[in-house]
Structure 1
Amino acid sequence: MRISVVLPAHNEAGNIGRLVEETYAVLPRSLLHEVIVVDDCSEDGTRDEVLALRPSYRSLRYLRHGSRAGQSAALRTGILAAASPVIAMMDGDAQNDPADIPNLVAKLGEPGSDGPALVGGLRADRKDTGSKRLASRAANWIRDAVLKDDCPDTGCGIKVYWRQAFMRLPFFTTMHRYLPVLFLTYGYRVEYVPVNDRPRVAGKSKYSNLGRALIGVYDLLGVTWLRRRTAVPPVAEDSGAERLVSERETA
C-alpha cells in the first residue's frame, strides 16, 4: 500500500521544510506516493520553504487556504486531494518522526478487511513542557471516562488510516482530535503503536492549555451526542452486487 503523507501547517517556517526533507529521506519510494503540505494561510515563510523544495521532490504538493480555517480543515483539504488509499498524517511542527510511519502502516488492515482502519501513535516519552504533559493526561482521562474509546494518546499527531473510511466521517473544525473515537463510532477497528516524540525547535505552539480545555469541553459534549445518535449496522445481504460487477466487466 503506497501512502499519501498529509502535513497541515500554519506558521511553521523552520519546521516544515526539515520535515518534508526528512520524510522523503526516511520513507522508501515503494511506500511513499506523495507528500501534501496544506498551508492554513500562514503569515511567515512556510510557503517559500515548501516551494523551494518542489524542484527536488516531484511528488511534493503545496496547497494553501485563502483564509485560516484550522488544522482539521487543512487535514481534510489534503485528504480530498490525496491520490492514495492510505493516509499518513503528521503535525507540521516536526515533533512527529516520519521514521515511525512504516511501523504504523504495517499494523493497518487491508482496505475492506476487518483489520484496523486507523493506527495511531502513542508517545512513550513526550518532549513537551510539564504543564502540557499534565494537561494531556487529564484530558485523556476525562475523554476516556466520557467517550470510553480506550485511546491512550489522542493528542499524538501521527496516524495512518484508510482514506475511504475518513471520508465517511462527519466533518467539524476540531475533528482531528477525535479521529479514534469517530472511527470506532463508524464501526472500524483502531490500534496504537509506540512512536518517537521530539521537541519543537522553531516557532511556537498554536494552543494554550486553557484555550484547548475550553474548546475541549464544548467538543466533548458534541462528540458524545454524535456517538449516541449514530447507528452504523453491518450489511447482512447485498443480492445485487454480483450482477453489477458482472455488467461492469462485460461492458
Structure 2
Amino acid sequence: MTHIELSVLIPAHNEAGNLPALLDEIALALSGITPVITPVINYEVLVMDDGSSDDTWSLLVQRAQHDKHLRPLRHSHSAGQSTSVWQAAQLARGTWLATLDGDGQNDPADIPALMQAAIDEDAVLVGGHRVVRQDTKLKLLSSRIANNIRRRLLDDDSPDSGCGIKVIRRDAFLSLPYFDHMHRFLPALIHAQGGKCLARPVNHRERGTGQSHYGLGNRLWVGIVDLMGVMWLKRRSRLPALVTGIEDSELLRGESEAVTQAHEESVAAHVVSSRMEALKG
C-alpha cells in the first residue's frame, strides 16, 4: 500500500455549497502542478460530515466514486469541530495532518508552504496567521478578546491560535489529551509537551455560502471557559516530551474505514468525563 505523507482533515456541517470548490482547490494545491515540497505528494482528504441536514453527505459519497483521495466520514448527529477533527485523525494514515475549515475561508494553496516550514525547521506544528481577516466585526472582536486573554494566561505566543489551517505531526496530535474545543489551543498544548510551534502568514477569504456556526456565545464565552480548563491541564498534567519513533507505516495507518456508532458513544462519554474531571480541579 502506498505510504500516505499527508492527511487533510475537514470538519463540515451543512457545507454542501462550499465543499466542491474547496476539494478542487486541495487537489490543485497538492497535485504537483506548482510543487513546493515534491513533484507529487501522496495525500488523502478526510471530510467529516458532522450531522449535516443539507446535501453534504450525498455530495461526498458521489464525489468519492471518482476521487481516489477522498474518504467521507459521517456523524449521525453534530458533535462539534474538535470532535470531528479528532475522530478523523484516528482514521488518518498520513505522517502529517493538515486541518482546514469546511467553509472555504482557508486557502488550501497555503498547505505546501506550511508543511515545508515544518520539515525545514523541525517543527511539530505550523499554524496559519490570518494577517488580513475577512470576518464580521463581531467575530473579529470576540476573537481578539479571546486571543489576548489566552496569550496572557497560557504564556502562548501564537499570534492566531484559532486559525483553522494548520499542519501538525499526526503522532503528536494523537498524544494530546482530548477535550471539546481543543482545536483552539493546539499550539499551547504542543508547546506544553516540548514541541516546537511556528506561525506563518496565510490567505484568508470570505465564506463562500451559508452562515458561520460561531458567534459571541460559543466563541468568546465558551472559549474563556475552555481556557480555564487548559490552564488546569497545564498545571496538573505532566505531559511527556515528544519523541520521534521508528517510522513504521503500518503503525501510522488507521485500520477502521468508518466511524461507528459505538465509537461515537465512547467519545461522548470521554468528553463528559473530561469535563467533570476539569471541574473537580
Tell me the equivalent position of 1:202: 209
Tell me the equivalent position of 2:169: 162
Residue of 224, 232, 236 corresponding to 1:229: 236
| CA gap 1:56/1:144 in 2 versus in 1, 3 angstroms | same
How big is the shift at 1:188? 0.6
Q: Superposed, which structure 2 residues align to 1:176-215 within 5 Å?
A: 176-215=183-222
Q: Deviations over 1:85-122 (max 9, x none)?
A: 10011001110000000110011148xxx821000000
How big is the shift at 1:134? 2.1
Tell me the equivalent position of 1:50: 60
1:71 maps to amino acid: Q
Tell me the equivalent position of 2:111: 101
How big is the shift at 1:156? 0.7
1:153 maps to amino acid: D
Residue of 20, 23, 29 corresponding to 1:26: 29
Identical positions, percent: 44
In the alignment, the residues of structure 1 paired with residue 44 and residue 241 of structure 2 have an alpha-carbon distance, to the nearest angstrom, of: 33
Q: Unaligned 5+ residue runs, structure 2?
A: 33-39, 246-281
How big is the shift at 1:230? 2.3
Q: Deviations over 1:197-250 (max 9, x none)?
A: 000121111111133222112111100010112224559xxxxx9xxxxxxxxx
In the alignment, the residues of structure 2 paired with residue 200 and residue 108 of structure 1 have an alpha-carbon distance, to the nearest angstrom, of: 27
In the alignment, the residues of structure 2 paired with residue 190 and residue 19 of structure 1 have an alpha-carbon distance, to the nearest angstrom, of: 26
In the alignment, the residues of structure 2 paired with residue 227 and residue 233 of structure 1 have an alpha-carbon distance, to the nearest angstrom, of: 12
Question: More displaced, 126-135 or 176-185?
Answer: 126-135
In the alignment, the residues of structure 2 paired with residue 154 and residue 166 of structure 1 have an alpha-carbon distance, to the nearest angstrom, of: 15
1:11 maps to amino acid: N
Residue of 80, 86, 90 corresponding to 1:70: 80
- 8 Å contact kept, 2:193–2:241: no
How big is the shift at 1:5? 0.5
In the alignment, the residues of structure 2 paired with residue 234 and residue 69 of structure 1 have an alpha-carbon distance, to the nearest angstrom, of: 30
Give the TM-score normalised by structure 2. 0.79
Give the TM-score normalised by structure 1. 0.88
In the alignment, the residues of structure 1 paired with residue 141 and residue 100 of structure 2 have an alpha-carbon distance, to the nearest angstrom, of: 22
Q: Unaligned 5+ residue runs, structure 1?
A: 236-240, 242-251
- 8 Å contact kept, 2:191–2:197: yes
Instruction: Give the CA RMSD over aligned residues.
Output: 2.0
- 8 Å contact kept, 1:13–1:203: no
How big is the shift at 1:41? 0.9
Q: Secondary structure of 2:63's partner?
A: coil
Tell me the equivalent position of 2:260: none
Q: Deviations over 1:10-52 (max 9, x none)?
A: 1111011211111112212522411110111111111122222
Give aligned pairs, total.
Answer: 234
In the alignment, the residues of structure 2 paired with residue 156 and residue 145 of structure 1 have an alpha-carbon distance, to the nearest angstrom, of: 18
Tell me the equivalent position of 2:90: 80
| CA gap 1:192/1:43 in 2 versus in 1, 3 angstroms | same
